């Protein structure tokens, strides 16, 4: 087990390193002078100072040398200065936006998992009955409708027309912080974020449970006279959950993609909104730092999923 964890971690670190190479290469493909990223735009600088800085940053040296210099600085937390926010340091800026994004994504994920798993079980038990067919159709529509459209529609119906919840932002401006206020702002974007992911989870849960229900041990349990409810809950669902848990981990990218659209429709002050604004304003240091952090998160979540799966399923260790 330990050896497995170490090997997976090493692979993860290598992927992260390769990701930094990719990001650095893309950074150098961008139009404009790379030195702009390192100059605080709100402070005037003379041409000779600029040359000195260029030499100090090694921007006239070969690209591989530059890569290691950039990597060293990035490891120390120096990603340069943001262009759009008057030269604020990139790392503190990005870090300040992570909290809201994690809150939104985690809430969305919890809703998606709870709703997806329970409706998946329900649909599998009622296989090919009306409830199953309508749930499966709903899931198909859920997977096919893009996050920005469900976001617009949700905003229109629940915030603009019904006025059940505020139409955007994370907190009421000027009002003192309260959990109720935060929840009122959170509930709609989190629910909308969960639609795509929840539909996917529901489909996987349904097919996984159907497969388990045809296994011998389920028939044995029924033959022993265990009540149908307990057969489903204790014998079948427990085993059917395994692949679904892996799915939740490995599709974290879908949730991140959806979060970008939800954040920009609802003005949610997270990484997605920051990144979209950075792309619109060509704020490359912010784009690159946010991309690297996102990639690191995805690699970390995949690693944890693999380890958790190996911990639960003893057959993995043999492979």
Distance of closest approach, residue 287 Cβ to other proteins, in angstroms = 6
Half-sphere exposure in the Cβ direction for 141 (13 Å, CA): 8
Q: What are the E-state strand segments in 84-199?
A: none
Give the nearer residue to other proteins in terms of CB position, either 188 or 265. Answer: 265
- 5, 9, 19, 210: which one contacts other proteins (CB under 8 A)? 19
316: exposed, middle or buried (Cβ count in 10 Å: 0-12, 13-18, 19+): middle
Give the nearer residue to other proteins in terms of CB position, either 26 or 233. Answer: 26
- From 94-102, 112-120, 241-249, 276-284, give the range in contact with other proteins by CB under 8 A: 276-284
Token pair listed for 57:
């940053």
| Cα–Cα distance measured from residue 202 to residue 261, given in angstroms and rounded to the nearest whole number | 22
What contacts 18, CB < 8 A, 6 or more positions away? none
Distance of closest approach, residue 52 Cβ to other proteins, in angstroms = 29
Distance of closest approach, residue 226 Cβ to other proteins, in angstroms = 32
Helix axes 179-213 and 147-154, enclosed angle (nearest 10): 130
| Cα–Cα distance measured from residue 196 to residue 254, given in angstroms and rounded to the nearest whole number | 8
Give the nearer residue to other proteins in terms of CB position, either 35 or 159. Answer: 159
Token pair listed for 267:
């003005």
Say how many residues touch other proteins, by CB under 8 A.
Answer: 43
60: exposed, middle or buried (Cβ count in 10 Å: 0-12, 13-18, 19+): exposed
- 73, 152, 187, 245: which one contacts other proteins (CB under 8 A)? 152
Does position 308 interact with other proteins (CB under 8 A)? The reply is no
Give the nearer residue to other proteins in terms of CB position, either 125 or 286. Answer: 286
- 38, 204, 268, 284: which one contacts other proteins (CB under 8 A)? 284
| Cα–Cα distance measured from residue 192 to residue 214, given in angstroms and rounded to the nearest whole number | 34
Give the nearer residue to other proteins in terms of CB position, either 10 or 279. Answer: 279
**Interaction pattern, residues 109-148, with other proteins; x per rule: CB under 8 A:** -------------------------------xx--xxx-x
Does position 63 interact with other proteins (CB under 8 A)? The reply is no
Distance of closest approach, residue 227 Cβ to other proteins, in angstroms = 33
95: exposed, middle or buried (Cβ count in 10 Å: 0-12, 13-18, 19+): middle
Does position 262 interact with other proteins (CB under 8 A)? The reply is no
- The number of beta carbons lying within 10 Å of the beta carbon of residue 86 is 11
Which of the 8 DSSP states describes residue 128?
A: T
Contact 193, 255 (CB under 8 A): yes
Does position 254 interact with other proteins (CB under 8 A)? The reply is yes
**Interaction pattern, residues 32-61, with other proteins; x per rule: CB under 8 A:** ------------------------------
Token pair listed for 61:
């040296």
Contact residues for other proteins, defined by CB under 8 A: 15, 18-19, 22, 26, 29-31, 140-141, 144-146, 148-149, 152-153, 155-156, 160, 167, 252-254, 256-257, 260-261, 264-265, 275-276, 278-280, 282, 284, 287, 291, 294-295, 298-299
């Amino acid at each position: 087990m330990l050896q497995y964890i170490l090997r997976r971690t090493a692979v993860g670190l290598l992927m992260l390193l390769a990701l930094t190479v990719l990001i650095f290469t893309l950074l150098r493909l961008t139009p404009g002078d790379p030195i702009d990223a390192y100059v605080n735009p709100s402070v005037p600088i003379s041409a000779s100072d600029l040359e000195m800085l260029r030499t100090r940053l090694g921007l006239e040296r070969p690209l591989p040398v530059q890569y290691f210099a950039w990597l060293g600085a990035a490891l120390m937390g120096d990603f340069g200065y943001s262009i759009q926010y008057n030269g604020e340091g990139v790392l503190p800026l990005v870090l300040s936006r992570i909290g809201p994004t994690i809150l939104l994504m985690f809430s969305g994920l919890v809703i998606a998992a709870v709703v997806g798993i329970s409706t998946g079980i329900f649909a599998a038990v009622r296989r090919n009955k009306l409830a199953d067919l309508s749930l499966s159709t709903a899931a198909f529509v859920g997977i096919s409708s893009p996050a920005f459209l469900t976001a617009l529609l949700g905003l229109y119906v629940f915030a603009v027309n019904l006025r059940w919840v505020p139409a955007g932002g994370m907190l009421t401006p000027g009002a003192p912080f309260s959990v109720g206020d935060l929840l009122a702002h959170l509930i709609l974007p989190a629910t909308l974020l969960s639609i795509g992911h929840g539909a996917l989870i529901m489909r996987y849960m349904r097919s996984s449970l159907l497969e388990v229900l045809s296994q011998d041990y389920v028939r044995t349990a029924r033959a022993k006279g265990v009540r149908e409810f307990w057969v489903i809950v204790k014998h079948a669902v427990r085993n059917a959950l395994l692949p679904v848990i892996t799915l939740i981990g490995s599709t974290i990218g879908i949730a991140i993609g959806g979060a970008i659209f939800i954040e920009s429709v609802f003005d949610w002050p997270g990484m997605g909104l920051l990144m979209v604004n950075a792309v619109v304003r060509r704020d490359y240091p912010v784009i690159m730092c946010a991309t690297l952090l996102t990639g690191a998160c995805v690699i970390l979540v995949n690693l944890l999923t693999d380890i958790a799966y190996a911990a639960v399923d003893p057959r993995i260790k043999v492979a």
